[in-house]
Amino acid sequence: MLSHRAQILPASSTAALDAHIKSLLADGADIINLTGGELDFPTPQQATDGAHQAIDAGHTRYTAVAGLTELREAIAQRLNTHWGCAYDPAQIVTTNGAKQALAQLFTVLCEPGDEVLLQAPHWVSFPHMIRLAGATPVVIPTGDTGFKITPEQIQARLSPRTKVLLLNNPSNPTGLVYTERELRDLAALAVENGLTIVSDEIYGDLVHDGAIFTAVASLSEEIAAHTVTVAGFSKTYAMTGWRIGYAAAPLPVAKALSAVQGHTSSAPSSISQHAALAALAEDTDTELARRSRELGTRRTALRDGLNSLPPLRLAVEPQGGFFAFVDVSGLYRRPEDDAATIAQELLEQAGVAVMPGQDFAAPHHVRMSYAVSSSDISQALDRISTYLKTTTHRSTS
């Protein structure tokens, strides 16, 4: 009955684990949840007010498939003023979260059998989105290159079927931020070989300690003509449940993306769009800066705490987003152990929930979120410390 693509498609491991942990918490379990991909900050008040005002004004009907004109204008303006990207409102398509934008883009850009280059570790849904579109994910390991993809790695994997270079900056799960020079080198190779760059920049506003985020489409007009920028409101504005993302693309891609959306979901919720429009008002910038500083403080607390808990090893310094990427191989006791084994032990013996890295293509790492309170981070570190003191482990080295 099911198609082959449906039969091989697993459920989202991140969503499933987060739902499981929240269910345990609802039942009274004493767990500190470091699995989630959403900030604990509230949605900005003016975004909530914008939604209420939209309801009171009766803005509860369909909008244009690509979204409200005034919202697309505001997104284009913000991309220009904050990220240096020269987009026109006609190039913006709002979607039900950035995830929908990505999934639809692979449908728009790829023929069956086309190849999409992406790095590992990667966000769990990337390969599955690509396969659902009939394309083939070509995963490039980056453990030996500092968890960043290099032009040499791309060059070695180019084929006549290569169609898309998928980037994620800042990266989930590593938290790394590509430098402008690194992005220029990658983009130049993509342009030279006629590839479309799909750049997932959902964490672009959340960088720490002097790291500088560079949007790929800001590098040059030529690069922008080969680039689709994907972002949204879920992370920056703590609006995960509102489901508002967008793609900013060359006009032919934007038109095709809108056509696909018109035959599938239609436009995002009109109320959510009005909330997003209110969130983009300039007087939110001060609050966003405050939240970014708080997130940086939490990052430092988790980083420093993990560095004092060998044999856990922070794989890389988190520079953006809100995840720490942790090597747990030093905790293995049996040859069959992996990150899932350690994650299960941490849950059952320490009451700390972390995300195992198998579906990130990182079977010896876990992802820990610092999008939780400083108190939760401190308690989680204390619990992990107690767990390490009461459990005997061996190193695999």
| Bridge pairing between strands 313-314 and 352-353 | unpaired
Q: Which of 330, 318, 82 shows the shortest CA–CA distance to 207?
A: 318
The SS3 assignment for 45 reads helix
Average pLDDT of the chain, as a whole number: 94
With 90 as the cut, is the pLDDT of residue 231 above it?
yes
Q: Residue 297 to residues 48, 291, 300, 304, 355: CA-CA distances in angstroms?
A: 26, 10, 5, 11, 22
The token duo for 61 is 């009907």
pLDDT band at residue 397 under the 50/70/90 scheme:
very low
Identify residue 277 by its one-letter amino acid code. Answer: L
pLDDT at 47: 96
E strands of 1-80, at which residues?
32-33
Question: Is residue 394's pLDDT more than 60?
Answer: no
CA distance 187 to 166: 11
Instruction: State the pLDDT at residue 289.
Output: 85
Q: Looking at residue 148, what is its pLDDT? A: 98
What are the tens digits of pLDDT across the range 297-316?
Answer: 999 999 999 999 999 999 99
pLDDT digits (tens, 9 = 90+) for 132-173: 999 999 999 999 999 999 999 999 999 999 999 999 999 999
CA gap 209, 318 in Å, rounded: 10
CATH architecture of structural domain 61-283: 3-Layer(aba) Sandwich (3.40)
Residue 64 has pLDDT above 60, yes or no: yes
Domain ranges of the chain: 4-42+285-387, 61-283
pLDDT of residue 49: 97
Q: What's the token pair of residue 258?
A: 């809108």
Q: H/E element holding 231?
A: strand 227-232
Query: Distance between CA 263 and CA 254 in Å, rounded?
Result: 15
Strand partners, 167: 199
Please give the average per-residue pLDDT across 269-282, as a whole number.
94
Phi-psi category of residue 8: left, alpha or beta, with phi > 0 → left and psi -120 to 50 → alpha: alpha
List of residues 6+ apart from 164 with CB closer than 8 A: 106, 109, 110, 114, 115, 116, 117, 135, 195, 196, 197, 198
Residue where the block lists tokens 């030279």: 192
CB 127 within 8 A of CB 137: yes
Amino acid at residue number 139: V
Helix (H) or strand (E) holding 129: helix 126-132
Lowest mean pLDDT among 80-84, 132-136, 288-292, 371-375: 288-292
Tokens 């008040």 belong to residue: 45
Mean pLDDT of 238-257: 98
pLDDT at 182: 98
Of 364, 289, 294, 297, which is closest to residue 325 (Cα–Cα)? 364
β-pair type (136-141, 115-120): parallel
What the block records as the tokens of 63 is 């909008």
364 has a pLDDT exceeding 80: yes
Only one residue has tokens 């023929």, namely 111
Q: pLDDT digit string (tens) for 82-120?
A: 999 999 999 999 999 999 999 999 999 999 999 999 999
CATH topology of domain 4-42+285-387: Aspartate Aminotransferase, domain 1 (3.90.1150)
Higher pLDDT, 381 or 210: 381
Q: What is the pLDDT of residue 133?
A: 95
CB-based burial, 45-79: b 16+ in 10 Å, e otherwise: ebbbebbeebeeeebeeebebbbbeebbbbbbebb
CB 326 within 8 A of CB 315: yes
Could you tell me the pLDDT band of residue 79, with boundaries at 50, 70 and 90?
A: very high
- 341 Rama class: left (phi>0) / alpha (psi -120 to 50) / beta: alpha
Q: What is the pTM assigned to this prediction? A: 0.95
For residues 175 and 319, is the Cβ–Cβ distance under 8 A?
yes
pLDDT above 90 (res 270):
yes
Query: Is the pLDDT score of 63 beyond 60?
Result: yes
Q: What are φ and ψ of residue 56, in 5° steps?
A: -60, -35
Average pLDDT over residues 249-276: 98
The average pLDDT across 40-61 equals 96
The pLDDT-based confidence of 19 (bands split at 50, 70, 90) is confident
